Structure 1
Amino acid sequence: MSQENDRPGGYGQTGRPPKIKNKNAAAVQITAEQLIREAYDRQGTQQKAPRQKILDGEELSDYQMRRRREFEEGVRKNRTNIAEWLRYASWEESQNEIARARSIYERALEIDGRNQTVYIKYAELEMKNKNINSARNLYDRAVTILPRISQFWYRYTYMEELLGNIGGAREIFNRWMQWEPEEDAWNAFIKFEVRYKETENARAVFERFVYVHPQPKSWLKWTTFEENQGEFDRVREVFGLAIDRLGEAFIDQHIFISFAKFETRMKEYERARAIYKYALERLPKAKSQALYNQYTIFEKQFGETEDIETVVENKRRLEYEAAVKHNPNDYDAWIDYIRLEEASSLSSIEQTRDVYERAISEYPTVAEKKLWRRYIYIWLFYALFEETIAKDIDRARQVYTACVSLVPHKRFTFAKLWLQYAWFEIRQRNVGAARRTLGRALGICPKDKLFRGYIEMELELREFDRVRTLYSKYLEFNPTNCATWVEFAKLEMALGETERCQALFDIAIEQPTLDMPEVLWKAYIDFEYDQGDYEKTRALYERLLGMTDHVKVWISLARFELSVSAQDSPIEAARNVYERAYKRLRELGLKEERLALLESWRETEEYENGDVTVAEQKMPRRVRKRRELDDGSLEEYFDYVFPDDEEQGSRFKLLAKAHMWKQKMQGETSTEDGG
């Protein structure tokens, strides 16, 4: 091998890899796993650089001088790199050069006097070498310069406590607390006093603590401390102080819950109940759900249900009063307030009536029906209250009368109001007054709902002549309502008046405008079918088909013929209808309807064991086509191609070609004659 390839990696002097002449695959292949394993094994066999062994003091001095020169060069190049200073000081400490290490830390602090790591490492150096006063002076210096860094205070107090200087540690804690630190610092001070059984000192710390951090959890920690000390009277004092200090704006429900639970543990159940009631009366509903739940549990264990219901009712009453005072036209709040008074066992009829009177006095200022709807419901509830609860019938009638006179019927009315008034008179066995009420309503503001309600009342009274009269008036008012025609006809059919029913249907289908004519025609056809008059039914179908070519009408006629045909093979009659329908829909060019007709035709043939191929031969193919939109883009859609349409198209193409050939031949003949 040449000397070039003896270089690492097999590269020559030029730095390029050697050329490989034979690029065929080797006889023995090496896997990637083997390559990785060999590389790992070779890493283990590499020899580490031997550590320097210093044999005498001269070599040590040379080594130290060289290392110091390196460190000094490093810190000179980048004086702000504190990590380099820390490595320098740590090396001097390893050489037992404490004075030099101290000097390096001081030099580092001159560069960055607020670096926490330098102070901590510096203090650890002094403590490891038992220079307690130096460590104390260093911590004192650190907390003076950086009083908001809690780590210095924790280490300072821990060092003094570890040395047994309890008074010094307490003095440091007091200095720390003057800066009003976070809660953990106060907790550490309290635990320190508790460890040395200085209860009064811990209590004094708690007093300062809750002043700096007046959150509810701080007060609860104090109460827990006092309870653990067995000072139950002090616990009550602390809870009272917390309630007074926080006030209603910042008080939390958990303060009251903890206070009540404490009294429960002390078996002072009346005290606990008083606390719960006091809290529920003062805290808003959104901030007292947990309090209410705890009170419920308490009363289930130690009290009665009436007590909690009273408190909750009073609380809700205050909330409703605030709501209606804020918005007098909030009728939902008035209704909830009224429901509360009606359900309360403590409210009298006069109190409930007073709330009703206050609610109805706040009538809407704008004549819009959607704003009056909830207001009218209050009147209706008021009338029902006087009738069913107060049992004052005359007052209930006065409520109805006042409400009817209040509504601006010229602009809008409420059918429910008139109907409720009429049914009220019916319940009082005053049928004449009920009829006069609804008659007045129809005269002032006729509505569909009023007619239907009046008809329903007369039907309940079995006054069928009056019902006929009302239906007649109703149809004069709104002759386009197909449902009314059908209901009137059903009434006559139920009474056995077949001729009247047929006459009504005949009049109805002659109306020029109907809202749902398909409902009317179906009802008429079903009526004639039920009567067994198939000829009349068939005539109605034909008459309807003269007005519309809807596919459902054709299918219904085919099924009718299938059900009433007297032939041996009823499928023939239905097939004739299907063929007529298919021909008509084909003329109109309705492809979707033709497909629906063919599917129904095929189902009918299958059900009657007929010839399915008759319908299947006409079934279309579904093809994909494109069409151009208004913006010039193309849209894909599906179309149906029927076999008979293709045959007709082929015939048209053949005739067109024959016509062209004829014109061509005539042109050649005329040319020859001219020549």
Structure 2
Amino acid sequence: MAGRDPRDRAPRVRNRAPAAVQITAEQLLREAQERQEPAIQAPKQRVQDLEELSEFQARKRTEFESRIRYSRDSILAWTKYAQWEASHNEYERSRSVFERALDVDPRSVDLWAMQIKYTDMELKARNINHARNLFDRAITLLPRVDALWYKYVYLEELLLNVSGARQIFERWMQWEPNDKAWQSYIKLEERYNELDRASAIYERWIACRPIPKNWVTWAKFEEDRGQPDKAREVFQTALEFFGDEEEQVEKAQSVFAAFARMETRLKEFERARVIYKFALARLPRSKSASLYAQYTKFEKQHGDRAGVELTVLGKRRIQYEEELAYDPTNYDAWFSLARLEEDAYRADREDGENVEPTRVREVYERAVANVPPALEKRYWRRYIYLWLQYAAFEEIDTKDYDRVRDVYKAAIKLVPHKSFTFAKLWLAYAYFEIRRLDVSAAPLHRLYRVRDASARV
């Protein structure tokens, strides 16, 4: 470091102020562009006679052959070579180039795609049979490439050879392709008003892929062509196919919904109502929200007051059940569900029906089974109110006084009295026994102990 020449150091910048004239990058690029030397353009050559044309073609062929010799697997090189020959109307040579390329990789999708584009040149030259042979070889070697089949069908339909297009589709359907291919075959028959043939194709399609969407599509087709009985038969066959098991009915919800909508369009409201109820009776509430929503809309449009109330009731049940499935200790949701069932029970009684409070009791039993996990009084308050409401329902609505007594005793037994107690619970039990004129059964020894506590609860 000591022997370093001071002149090798970077010069010190004495004036750090900006220059008076600023030079931008744009100015630098413009100056470089202006000083750039013009590119050399090759002179245009024109072929004057056949001898020069032959020389030019021989030279280009030599260049193409050299390229494919060094890059034999390059599809682009083969394609350019064949297209160049076709552009000079040398179709025999162009076919020969493609055949040589296919010898390299006969199952190359890209190569066949390029060759299919080449068929346009064959068609322009009116070499129709050559194009057909090319397509036939393509679909034989690559039957799972849908684009080849579509091009082949388009060619035959373009030539107004409908029977030929139908034969191609029949060959294609033997490979059981995707739904789009089946729909294309059906649309072909629809374009030529062969609706019975289209219906037969739908039947084969369903046998191949019996999913709900395809059943609905077939039934809609039959309805649109003015065959409602055939559409009903399709739907009924679909429902028989899926069966009555819960899992299968859940899978076929779209079929039930479409069937009911069709009956609604045909003004068969009772049929539609039966279909909705049949499906909803076999599905759990948590899995039929969409179907319930459609049923509710149907009843609002075409049902009576009782039917609308029933569907709204079912929809709210599903909502509360979903909340409780997420959090079983959501006591507010239990209160709402219990009140909902109580109102439904009272409405049925007012209509003169002899109904049992089984559903209400089931809700209360499920609710009180969810004991708070912590021994803290603030977590138990809403829970104890469930017991109190349960007892009030049994006393006022069902008048099953023995069951009321059992409810109070079960609640009192469940409370951890060594940690805390609830004055309202003791008082409610005592007042119940007093109302029953059984003072000896009332827990009077507890009333004085919890009198002060009652003000706090």
Task: Say if 1:179 and 1:338 are closer, same or farther in 2 by CA, change over 3 A.
Answer: same
Measure how far apart 1:362 and its partner are.
Answer: 8.9
Give the letter aligned to residue 383 of structure 1. A
CA distance in 2 between partners of 1:360 and 1:35 (Å): 81
Match of 2:136 among 119, 134, 140: 140
Partner of 1:116: 112
Structure 1 segment 177-216 matched on structure 2, within 5 A: 177-216=173-212
Paired residues of 1:331 and 1:374 also in contact (CA < 8 A): no
8 Å CA contact 1:264–1:272 kept in 2: the answer is yes
Q: What does residue 45 of structure 2 align with?
A: 52
The aligned counterpart of 1:249 is 247
**1:179 alignment partner, SS class:** coil
Q: How far apart, CA to CA, are the structure 1 residues paired with 2:305 and 2:343?
A: 15
Contact 1:173 1:189 in 2 (8 A): yes
Contact 1:257 1:291 in 2 (8 A): yes
Structure 2: which 5+ runs fail to align?
1-18
Secondary structure, counterpart of 1:263 in structure 2:
helix
1:233 is displaced (CA, Å) by 0.7
Structure 1 contact 227–235 (Cα < 8 Å) conserved: yes
Query: Match of 2:254, SS?
Result: helix
Structure 2 residue 385 is the aligned partner of structure 1 residue 381: no
Note if contact 1:214-1:246 (Cα within 8 Å) is conserved in structure 2: no
Match of 1:420 among 425, 428, 440: 428
Q: Distance in 1 between matches of 2:402 and 2:238?
A: 57
Match of 1:36 among 15, 30, 33: 30
How far did residue 395 of structure 1 move? 6.1
Of 239-248 and 292-301, deviating more is 239-248
Q: What is the rounded CA distance, in whole Å, between the counterparts of 2:104 and 2:363 in structure 1?
A: 83
In structure 2, the CA distance between the partners of 1:79 and 1:403, relative to structure 1 (3 Å rule), is: closer
1:261 aligns with 2:261: yes
- Relative distance call for 1:283 and 1:356 in structure 2 (3 A) is closer
1:299 matches 2:307: no
1:94-173 equivalences in 2 (<5 Å): 94-113=87-106, 114=108, 115-173=111-169
TM-score (norm 2): 0.76
Q: Secondary structure of the equivalent of 1:68?
A: helix
CA root-mean-square deviation: 4.5
Segment drifting more, 311-320 vs 135-144: 311-320
Distance 1:415 1:252 in 2: 54
For each residue in 1:578-615, what CA deviation from the matched residue of structure 2 results, as whole angstroms up to 9, or x when unmatched? Answer: xxxxxxxxxxxxxxxxxxxxxxxxxxxxxxxxxxxxxx
Which residue of the partner structure matches residue 72 of structure 2?
Answer: 79
Structure 1, unpaired ranges of 5+: 1-24, 443-449, 457-675
State the Cα distance separating 1:236 from its structure 2 match.
Answer: 1.0
1:80-114 deviations in whole A, cap 9, x for unaligned?
A: 11111111111111222111111111111111212
CA contact (8 A) 1:382 1:399 kept: yes
Deviations 1:253-275 (A, max 9, x none): 33222222211111111111112
**Partner in structure 2 of residue 351 of structure 1:** 357
Other-structure match for 1:279: 279
Deviation of 1:156 (Å) = 0.7
Paired letter, 2:65: E
Closer/same/farther in 2, CA of residues 203 and 395 from structure 1, 3 Å limit = closer
Distance, in Å, in 1 between the alignment partners of 2:126 and 2:232 is 49
SS at 2:348 equivalent:
coil
Q: CA deviation at 1:396?
A: 3.9
Q: CA deviation at 1:305?
A: 3.0
Name the residue aligned to 1:400: 408
* One-letter identity of the residue aligned with 1:418: W
Correspondence for 1:510: none
Query: Which has the higher relative contact order, 1 or 2, with Cα contacts under 8 A spaced 6 or more apart?
Result: 2
Counterparts of 1:455 and 1:153, CA distance in 2: 82
Amino acid at match of 1:272: A
**1-structure distance, mates of 2:185, 2:36:** 59
How far has the Cα of 1:276 moved from its partner? 1.6
The answer on whether the counterparts of 1:421 and 1:437 sit within 8 Å (CA) in structure 2 is no
The amino acid across from 1:223 in the alignment is: A
TM-score scaled by structure 1? 0.53
Which one has the largest radius of gyration?
Answer: 1
- The one-letter code matched in structure 1 to 2:259 is F
Q: 1:380 is matched by which residue type in structure 2?
A: L
Give the letter for the 2:254 counterpart: H
Q: Provide the secondary structure at the position in 1 that maps to 2:193.
A: coil
1:479-628 to 2 correspondences below 5 Å: none
Judge conservation of contact 1:280–1:291 (CA < 8 Å) in 2.
Answer: yes
What code does the residue aligned with 1:451 have?
D
| Cα gap change, 1:412 to 1:86, in 2 (>3 Å) | same
Query: What secondary structure, in the 3-state scheme, does the structure 2 residue paired with 1:346 have?
Result: helix
State the Cα deviation string for residues 553-574 of structure 1 (Å, max 9, x = none): xxxxxxxxxxxxxxxxxxxxxx
